[in-house]
Amino acid sequence: MTVILLDSSVIFDHLNGRFRRTEFLMRLMNQGHIFASCPVTLTEVYSGVRPGEEKKTEAFLNSLEFLPVTQEVARHAGLLRRDWQKKGQTLSYTDVTIAAIALSNDVPLLTDNKKHFPMAELELLPLPERGG
């Protein structure tokens, strides 16, 4: 059984019935995996909720484990951002925070935005192509 941190892109695709993400998530659940969210993904998801989607969104988000931003996570995120800036790549605060949460909790990240997470030490789970 593995806890998997979901990026907001995957949550949006599931909630909107796109790219067969729901079926993919169900397969992972049937294999015994548990899904998690974090403060950043909750903020991103709630900022995109349209009228009439509140109940469905709330129900799904409440079904997820919650991985918080701790002082250790915030420090790790800041250092990741600093180190990648030194390499010439500016990463967003949200993405380095998500990465730091995954790394600090030793969980893989499920995302469609691999270019936002270039850290070699971060385990990114593969998603099926958007068409299938």
Q: Name, in order, each residue with C-beta under 8 angstroms of 90's C-beta and a sequence gap of 6 or more.
A: 81, 84
pTM here is 0.94
Taking residues 120-130, report their average pLDDT.
90
Spell out a b/e string for 41-62, using b for 16 or more CB atoms within 10 Å of the CB, else e: beebbeeeeeeeeeeebeebbe
pLDDT of 131? 60
pLDDT in tens, 46-80: 999 999 999 999 999 999 999 999 999 999 999 99
- In order of their start, the domains of the chain are 3-125 (3.40.50.1010)
Token representation of residue 26 = 């169900």
Single-letter amino acid code for the residue at 77: A
